[in-house]
Amino acid sequence: MRPEGWIGTLAIGIAFGSAFKLLMKMIVMPLLGADPINQRYHYLAGNRAALPAALYAMIVGAGFGEETVFRGFMFERLGKLFGSSVSARTATVLLTAGLFGLAHYADQGLAGVEQGAIVGPVYGTIFAVTGRIWMLMFAHAAFDLTALAIIYWDLESTVAHLILK
C-alpha cells in the first residue's frame, strides 16, 4: 500500500529512525553493557572506498529488504496462520522481533541481537497497529545510515558516552 503523502512519510521515517538510533546508542546499548565501538563495522571509520557498498547495503538490503521480510512477508504469512486477533498480532510481533534479533547475530554478535530485540518489537508494533510499511522502511534505512555516519566520522564512543559516562 502506497503512503498517502510520500514527503510526510519520508520525513517522519527519517526523523524517527535517526532519533531512535541515537537513543539506542546513547542510552539503551550502554545500559546493556554494549561495547561503544561496533567492532564488526569499525572498518568503515573514515573509509571512503567502502561507503558506496555500505550505503547500498543499509538502504536497499537493510532498510527495504529487512522490512519487506520481517514486517511485510512474515506478518502476512503469520497473519494467515494465527489470524488477526490482538493476541495473534502480539504473537506475530514477538515472533518476528525474536527472529529479527537473531538475524543480527551472525554479523553483530550479542549486541546486534540485543539491539534487534528492541528495534524489532517497536517496528513490529508500529506495523501491527498501522498496517503501513513505507515509514518503517525509511526509518530502518535512516537508523542504519545514522549508525554509518557515527561510525564513519569515528564518533561512536563519543555518542555512546554523551549521556551515560
pTM of the complete model: 0.95
What pLDDT does residue 92 have?
A: 97
1 in a structural domain: no
What pLDDT does residue 165 have?
A: 73
165 in a structural domain: no
Residue ranges in the chain whose pLDDT is less than 50: none
Domains of the chain: total: 1
What pLDDT does residue 35 have?
A: 95
43 in a structural domain: yes
12 in a structural domain: yes
What pLDDT does residue 164 have?
A: 84
What pLDDT does residue 86 have?
A: 95
35 in a structural domain: yes
Query: Between helices 105-130 and 86-103, what is the axis angle to 10°?
Result: 160
Place of cell 511485510: 72
What pLDDT does residue 154 have?
A: 97
What pLDDT does residue 159 have?
A: 97
**Residue 16 in contact with residue 140, Cβ under 8 Å?**
no
What pLDDT does residue 138 have?
A: 97
Alpha carbon of 64 to those of 54, 60, 89, 130: distances in Å? 14, 5, 22, 17
Range of the domain at 94: 6-160
